[in-house]
Chains A and B, each alone.
Chain A
Amino acid sequence: SSELTQDPAVSVALGQTVRITCQGDSLRSYYASWYQQKPGQAPVLVNYAKNKRPSGIPDRFSGSNSGDTASLTITGAQAEDEADYYCHSRDSSGNLRVFGAGTRVTVL
């Protein structure tokens, strides 16, 4: 399968924790990476592999993997975390790439 499935939308109260999931057969073999996209902006890498964060990304963004599911957790969500989040990985062949459809995170 070449699909990655994400929930369309989630909401979280300010300061609380939210987990975004990404499910797909290829995730049994390959790690996911996660991107934050705000309106009118290019996506930004926030987490990849086994919970690696690029420089400048707050440590409230953490990643994990279990079986066919990858997760991005925002611990202590801030207003500026309101955005669309996309997962990405290889497809099952390993040669192509695929994105999940995205999860819109609303901070209440």
Chain B
Amino acid sequence: QVELQESGPGLVKPSETLSLTCTVSGGYVSGETYFWTWIRQRPGQGLEWLGNIYYSGNTHYNPSLESRLSISADTSKTHFSLKLSSVTAADTAVYYCAREDDHDYLAHFDSWGQGILVTVSS
């Protein structure tokens, strides 16, 4: 069973870039049926899909964040990362990485990291 773990700074200043890494244990950022995904949850709010990366490197982003968001995977295929630029207090949230299994087009998130709280504040 693959395990995911988010890491990165818990505090980011407004206007700076939020950078997070998801470490994949027990597997690799690969597989034709998997999308490697970032999801966030603002305090007291619901889940928000941010975007994903396919093993080929293809990415898809939430249109509301597309101009500020970048998701990449390292060449070792053991990590994938999120960069969100020009952050504001509205980007304060728990950020989750997750693996989406899309076998037979039956998309579902079967593995989740524990989440990391990122606060945007000066």
- To the question of whether A and B form a pair in one complex, the answer is yes
Q: Which residues of A contact B (CB under 8 A)?
A: 30-31, 33, 35, 37, 42-45, 48-49, 52, 54, 84, 86, 88-90, 95-102
Question: Given that A48-B106, A89-B107 are known contacts, is A43 also in contact with B47, CB under 8 Å in the complex?
Answer: yes
Closest-by-CB residue of B relative to A100 is B46
Which of A52, A95, A100 is the one whose CB lies under 8 Å from B106? A52
The listed residue (A54, A99, A100) touching B110 by CB distance below 8 A is A54
Chain B interface residue count, CB cutoff 8 Å, equals 23
Is the Cβ of A96 less than 8 Å from the Cβ of B46?
Answer: no
- The secondary-structure label for the interface of chain B is strand
Taking a contact as CB atoms closer than 8 A, the residue among A37, A48, A84, A99 that contacts B108 in the complex is A48
Does more than half of chain A's interface fall in helix, strand or loop, or is it mixed? strand
Closest chain B residue to A44, Cβ basis: B112
Residues A96 and B112 in contact, CB atoms below 8 Å apart? no
